[in-house]
Chain A
Amino acid sequence: MIEEMQRDDTVFLLGEEVGEYNGAYKVSEGMLARFGPRRVLDTPISEAGFAGLAIGAAMCGLRPIVEFMSWSFSFVAIDQLINNAANIRYMSGGQFKLPIVFRGGNGIAHQLGATHSHRLDAVYSRVPGLIVVAPSNPYDAMGLLKTSIRADDPVVFLESEIMLNDTGEVPETEYTLPLGKADIKRPGSDVTLICWSKMVKLCLKAAAELETLGIAAEVIDLRTLRPLDEKTIVDSIRKTNRCVIVDEDWPYCGMGAGIMARIYKDVFDLLDAPIARVCCEDVPSPYSHHLEQAMQPSVEKVIVAVKEVCYISPGNQ
């Protein structure tokens, strides 16, 4: 964000605690001191208000970055996102562009309970007019955020809340990453694992374990949920003939369900088994730590699903 704000002075940040508190999760640490109160704005607890304000600012030529302390809080601003941000270019016949980025922590963190653990992936990915991005590591996050800020369309940027402290190598020189392009994090030939955000680490762990069972899993990190990089997915399934979608969302009408529906027609003839899904249990997010862990996907659950599509009975290799 700092690089983009240095590069372009119409970019500014607003949200709860982003300024004086240096960020609820310290993402915007030092930015108020560096850029001053005209470019880093502390807002009251009023998501609908400051989202609408930012949309108006974008319509007037600025490039706001709106931080939601948690994407769960975006529900109170959902009218602004889905009815205004998504539709303004369309409804104005292209008279307005909307270069706005909404970002914040998404997904199940740690014992934040049923109201603060939402996965907003599917809620926004279904809306034409929005771009939805979900990086899984610092390198991707940086490159994708820069591109998102430079994009002239509204971007829903889903950061995995529990991963905000993850570290990773990031080049010193400037770089951007393309939106709408998935990344094969681990090539393989036996089964395609489709994942993004928090699930990528899990799938890579599962892939390592599957390797010891003689199954070479290809892990695709989608990076962008809308628009979906269908080509990378289909090319992979053409190679492996088997697919497991691993996502943190609920099973019914969750993000994984949407992806499955989108690709099925194209991959049907390539499949040796129906596409399997590993996702959260169909329950509200529990407060208890153990229940919270139990309702989420796990390496074991991924391996069971892979065995299912390989027609290996769970007890055997």
Chain B
Amino acid sequence: MPSNITMPQLSDTMTEGTVVKWHKREGDPVAPADELADVETDKATMPMEAFDAGTLAYIAAAEGRKVNVGGLLGVIALPGEDAQQVKRDAQSNPPPAAPAPVPTITPQIEPTVPTPAAPPDSSPRLRVSPLARRVAADQGVDLAHVQGTGPAGRIVQRDVLARLDQGAPTSASPPPAPSPHAPILLTGQKKTIPLTKMRSAIAAALLRSKQTIPHYYEAIDIDMEAVAALRQRLNQRLEKDNIRLSLADFILKAVAACLVQYPALNARFNPETSEITQFGDVNLGLAVAIPDGLIVPVLRGVNQMSLRDIRIRSADLIDRARLQRLRREELSDATFTVTNLGTHGIRQFAAIINPPQVAILAVGAAQQRPAVINNQIVPRTLLTATLSADHRVVDGALAAEFLTTLKATLQEPGMMLI
């Protein structure tokens, strides 16, 4: 088989080179270590040596031509081969285009969207151990949202259980949006994407919100140990019913209970009529991330729901939100919104109010952090919740009271029974 001469990689950063001068002509004999040509790289001009003995049958890259690393420069006919034929073959069957230079920079991955169960190889099939698959099916965990820690990204039992502990994908938190094969943009490339209708709508609404509502923010740290312990105990009993409560369920219930006590926050403001309407029902908007966007389905009457109801209904709502199969009444009449990036590991963030609502609560991750109790530093499971409120109609002190009540409720969950 004739031997192809390809553009060598003469330096770490070299992606293409230019043949400055050929030292041999077509038909010349070649011996190993003979200098074939001078090649100019990004750094210097260097000689290129032959590895084979034979005849230089065909020159593919003329002097002055830029060729990518790996691209064809010429073909050596080995002893016994017909150089003319090799040349004809090479001319009629041009080798495939040289491989595009591989960028040495790894692409930036958005920190708030962890790649779920993305195996290092290019196969899109999920690798899941049989046991893990069974556990996921039993517990209603969507495997697309489980990070696999086994070899080649295999999802194993502990990964499914960890996902359940975090608050299964069926919670009020926006799950890691599956980023479909985000194509990598190479240096020099750019890509123009027109806004989808949904994206345009989101853009307009959020812009209007930020431009018209004077936002202010208050954050509070909440000790979640009591809730975590309670959740574990309750889940043991609920196992037979196939129900698994998540931390988010408790938070929703507590928020609803507190909003009943602070109706000023469970309100809608109409600046045109200068009227604030407070509501006896707590309809919570749950922010759900969907591919290329955000949708906020509404859970109605949360103040009257048990934890069990919250779990079942929010799971259903979120599933249908992702499939964009929500009914009109499920997208309207929210009195307050909760957005949760806890499963993404975000410690704290501030959200943008959805008018005509007057406030929104941003819930962070429950994390082990150092806390001070009785003058000692001890590890506790803490969570930071941030309230964004409309300063036209909600005063700072009121917002603060709401947050301290929320904190007290979550730290003594029995308060939700009263």
Contact = CB atoms under 8 A, between A and B. Distances in A.
A272 interface: yes
A272 B132 CA distance: 6
Interface in B183-228: none
B133 to A, nearest CB: 8
Contacts of A2: none
Given A241-B157, A311-B156, A311-B158, A273 B134 contact: no
Taking residues whose C-beta sits less than 8 angstroms from the other chain, chain A's interface range is under 10
Interface in A272-317: 272-273, 311
A310 to B, nearest CB: 9
Contacts of B157: 241, 272
B149 interface: yes
Interface string B301-322: 0000000000000000000000
A268 B132 CA distance: 12
B131 A311 contact: no
A270 B130 contact: yes
A271 interface: yes
A270 B129 CA distance: 9
Q: Is the interface of A mostly helix, strand, loop or mixed?
A: loop
B132 to A, nearest CB: 6
A269 interface: yes
B130 A271 contact: yes
A269 B134 contact: yes
A115 to B, nearest CB: 39
Interface string B129-142: 11110100000000
Interface string B101-143: 0000000000000000000000000000111101000000000
Interface residues of B, number: 10
Nearest to B131: A272
Contacts of A268: 130
Contacts of B130: 268-272
A273 B132 CA distance: 9
A52 to B, nearest CB: 49
A272 B128 CA distance: 9
A96 to B, nearest CB: 46
B70 interface: no
B128 to A, nearest CB: 10
A273 B133 CA distance: 12
Q: Give the residue among A269, A270, A271, A273 with the most B Cβ atoms within 10 A.
A: A273
B47 interface: no
Nearest to A242: B131
20 contacts: A241-B131, A241-B157, A268-B130, A269-B130, A269-B134, A270-B130, A270-B131, A271-B130, A271-B131, A272-B130, A272-B131, A272-B132, A272-B156, A272-B157, A273-B129, A273-B150, A273-B156, A311-B149, A311-B150, A311-B158
Given A272-B129, A272-B156, 12 more contacts: A241-B157, A268-B130, A270-B130, A270-B131, A271-B129, A272-B130, A272-B131, A272-B132, A272-B157, A273-B129, A311-B149, A311-B150
**Top 10 closest pairs, chain A to chain B, by CB:** A272-B131, A272-B157, A269-B130, A272-B129, A241-B131, A272-B156, A268-B130, A271-B130, A311-B150, A311-B156
Interface of A: 241, 268-273, 311
